[in-house]
Chain A
Amino acid sequence: MNADPRFEGEGPDEVFASALAEGRFIIQRCRACSQTRHPPALACSSCGSPDITWIAASGAGEVYSTTTVRERERSYNVAIVELVEGARLMSRVEGIAPEGVRIGLKVTARIAPEPEPHVVFEPAGDAP
């Protein structure tokens, strides 16, 4: 086999999902330019380098944008959260009425187990 050894092992989606299943929220960081990204991929979206590593996400972030999805029976939040590390992800802010989620709200991540492990957020305890 002459495959390039730099790309050995599981692909980034699998690495992320496996970590999440073990209770760890990890994100990618470029070794060349330090940019973080999520969802993960094989190269840095900022500088193009394929030299990427994984770091533990602190879980701290703030709401970048937010919407309340209205259904007959219920309403729920969908948000984009910007992590303090820089990467953004789609998620949901819980523990607060969906309409109460505001852009700029400080939030903290936790891993929701069902139906598949996924990252959700709650208002940060020490929010100003």
Chain B
Amino acid sequence: MTSPLRGQTAIVGVGNTRRWNAPGRTPFDQAQEAAILALEDCGLGLQDVDGLFCAISSSGLPVLNMAEKLGIRPRHADGTMVGGASFLFHLQAAASALVHGLCDVALIVYGSNQLSAGGRLVSMPDPQPYEAPYKPRYPISSYALAAARHMHLYGTTREQLAEVALAARGWANLNPDAFARGPLTREELLASRMISDPLTKADCCLVTDGGAALVLTRADRARDLKSKPAYVLGTGTSVSHRQIAAMPDLATSAAVESGRRAYAAAGLGPRDVDHVMVYDAFTITTLMFLEDLGFCAKGEGGSLVASGAIAPGGSLPVNTNGGGLSCNHPGMYGLFTVIEAVEQLRGACGERQVEGCEIALAHGNGGVLSSQATAILGTGAAL
């Protein structure tokens, strides 16, 4: 049965600062700019926002800081922090809060200065005493352990992982806003420096700054605003562990559950999806999420990506902004998967536009494959 929330809310505003290297700006500067852009995008103002959803790596109390800086007094707030997937958890919570009248205009907002502040992943303090003695590189060693397991079970190869990075760069080369553009070859990818076997530097996402925001309203109001609404057709979330050793099966993520829930809520399946955005923190995550979200059978992600299906011109447009691998990755990238999905549904993507894009899927990942969140969005035609 589809969810009673299906199509009841819509993303009406998106804000993307596109400032991937912006010294002299704090995470909150990036977030405020994105919020202003998102509100201007739909013709609403700060005074209209009564629901605030926010996560920022460097702040333990981001909602309080954002409300003060934006000069708003939200009556509903949510600072859920589950890593890079947080904003898709916020999206689900915002849809519910809007439908239940807890707020009328929801703002989801994020900012980061990860690159200009020193180029290291900024994580909230969260010591892991059962991992610390072994000095895994965080988070890459955790993803490497998952990749090694995937290779062991399904015969996935480094060459197949390189195809993910190649496809991402292919799309980035069609996106004037992508941070990493230009030619990239298989040979360069495979010769990249090994960091935590089997993952090399080329398997890792970028380190950038950035700010992003979404504005959501109920569908009736969405129709009267100046932007083309992207309706929330279905969402699903799941949390499976914190430490990688506690992940039940390192080769299969909880995206299986979040995806199943989102498809059920929307009354749709993978075959109905025109455009896919999956969180590519590392090449292995693209491959795993495509499997876990049902775009191919389990274990066949490697051959799917090697077939060229996800690259420009392929049968399944994936990560069309260039992804975390080649567009941007400010530390918690999830919101950017939603922004690109909305832009594709609006038909606003220029050279990289997916023809006839009516239904898009955005998927966020957090921690070390720990939190998974899937959102299925559609145009008015998909309602």
9 residue pairs, one from A and one from B, having the closest CB atoms: A118-B133, A67-B144, A65-B145, A90-B245, A68-B197, A65-B149, A39-B130, A103-B152, A78-B136
State which of A80, A91, A99 has its C-beta within 8 Å of the C-beta of B197. Answer: A99
* Cβ A80 vs Cβ B145 within 8 A: yes
CA–CA, A80 to B134, complex, Å?
A: 11
Give the total of A residues in contact with B, Cβ under 8 Å.
Answer: 26
Which residue of A has the minimal Cβ distance to B129? A13
In A46-95, the 8 Å CB interface with B consists of: 64-70, 76, 78-80, 88-92
CA–CA, A80 to B135, complex, Å?
A: 13
Considering residues B195, B199, B246, which has the most beta carbons from chain A within 10 angstroms of its beta carbon? B246
A118 contacts which chain B residues (CB < 8 A)? 133-134
- Least Cβ–Cβ distance between A114 and chain B, in angstroms: 9
In B292-344, the 8 Å CB interface with A consists of: none
* Cβ A89 vs Cβ B245 within 8 A: yes
In B101-152, the 8 Å CB interface with A consists of: 129-131, 133-137, 141, 144-146, 148-149, 152
CA–CA, A68 to B197, complex, Å?
A: 5
CA–CA, A66 to B250, complex, Å?
A: 11
State which of A39, A80, A89, A99 has its C-beta within 8 Å of the C-beta of B250. Answer: A80
B residues with CB within 8 A of A: 129-131, 133-137, 141, 144-146, 148-149, 152, 193-199, 243-246, 250
- Least Cβ–Cβ distance between B294 and chain A, in angstroms: 24
Can you offer 10 A-B residue contacts whose CB atoms are under 8 A? A45-B246, A64-B149, A65-B145, A67-B141, A67-B198, A69-B136, A70-B193, A90-B243, A91-B134, A103-B152
* Cβ B148 vs Cβ A89 within 8 A: no
* Cβ B244 vs Cβ A90 within 8 A: yes
* Cβ A66 vs Cβ B135 within 8 A: no
- Least Cβ–Cβ distance between B327 and chain A, in angstroms: 27
